[in-house]
Amino acid sequence: MSERNRKPPFRKKPDFKRDRPDRPPTGRRSGRAPVEADTAILYGLHTVEAALANPRRRIRALYATENAAKRLAADGIALKVTPQIVRPDEIARRLGPDAVHNGLLAEADPLDAPDLSELPAEGIVLVLDQITDPHNVGAILRSAAAFGVTALVTTARHSPEATGVLAKSASGALDYVPIVTVQNLARGLAALRERGFLLVGLDSEGDADLAATQLRSPLALVLGAEGKGLRQLTRETCDRTARLDLPGAIKSLNVSNAAALALYVATTRLHPRT
């Protein structure tokens, strides 16, 4: 074979198949060890950089384009594993054509989830009542990291896995904000109350505007899924409910936007500027 017709060496790198980014595949694939079912799939610059910088995160494999590898080096990111250099379309085949991967994909261990009893009784905790859209949960995590939220509490069922689309939407926040998983949300809320948390459920028919509601720390803000909102038992378990009064023609927000606004209101109420 002539030198001109010889395939470049990176063609012998992993042969990615198109997989769902939020549910890593199992089984053997040509040229690679099987990907375990509990593998967290992380992609995108901020998501992968945060995972690499997190000492609690174990990276199993890292795939990068040449430009992305240079970017990591320029940003001074310490690599936990030697990256495998691949073409951008190889990563795109793995994730799908709409995934914005920035030339980076990592396979990692899921982070250990703390127990509810291990959370410090301070600051703000976000509680999600069956919010299943990974884009929304990821965006909520991003806001939670921006406002210094202590943790995010969700249920084992009716919640998305902490991988793929959720991780990308969180833009690195998955490695900054601990996620606590409970089997029963009402019991989880009761446990938070026993530890001194004030439980405030956000509801369109809440008792008062959140900005006019008396708040204190530690505080748990409880959000429900779009459309159905808080479930009845969740609402009854909260100490009080509050709404977000808006001045414009549209009176409701996407749940991730509502979370960001609620965090802003609560943070400014708990820590007023002097």
Size of the chain in residues: 274
pLDDT at 36: 57
Q: Give the pLDDT score at 97.
A: 79
Element of type H or E holding 151: strand 151-155
pLDDT above 80 (res 176): yes
Q: What are phi and psi of 151, to 5 degrees?
A: -165, 165
Q: Which of 5-14, 40-49, 181-190, 204-213 has the lowest mean pLDDT?
A: 5-14
The three-state secondary structure class of 191 is helix
Q: Does pLDDT of 208 surpass 50? A: yes
Strand partners, 40: 108
SS3 64: strand
The pLDDT confidence band at residue 37, using thresholds 50, 70 and 90, is low
Preceding omega of 14 cis (within 30 degrees of 0): no
* Proportion of the chain above pLDDT 70, given as a percent: 86
- pLDDT of residue 182 exceeding 60, the answer is yes
How many other C-beta atoms lie within 10 A of the C-beta of residue 5? 6
Q: Look at residue 125 in the predicted model and tell me its pLDDT.
A: 98
Cα(163)–Cα(168) distance, rounded to whole angstroms? 8
**Coil vs helix vs strand at 108:** strand
Torsion of CA 84, 88, 91, 97, to 10 degrees: 180
Q: For the chain, which domains are there?
A: 9-108 (3.30.1330), 116-270 (3.40.1280.10)
The tokens for 187 are: 């019991």
Non-local (6+) Cβ contacts of 143 within 8 A are 256, 259, 260, 263
**Please, what is the Cα angle at 251 between 246 and 256, to 5 degrees?**
85
pLDDT band at 205 (very low <50, low <70, confident <90, very high): confident
Instruction: Give me the amino acid identity at 176.
Output: Y
- Cα separation values, 140 from 6, 61, 98, 116, 190, Å: 48, 27, 21, 19, 23
pLDDT tier, 226 (very low <50, low <70, confident <90, very high otherwise): confident
pLDDT bin (cut points 50, 70, 90) of residue 184 is very high
Report, as an integer, the average pLDDT of 215-236. 94
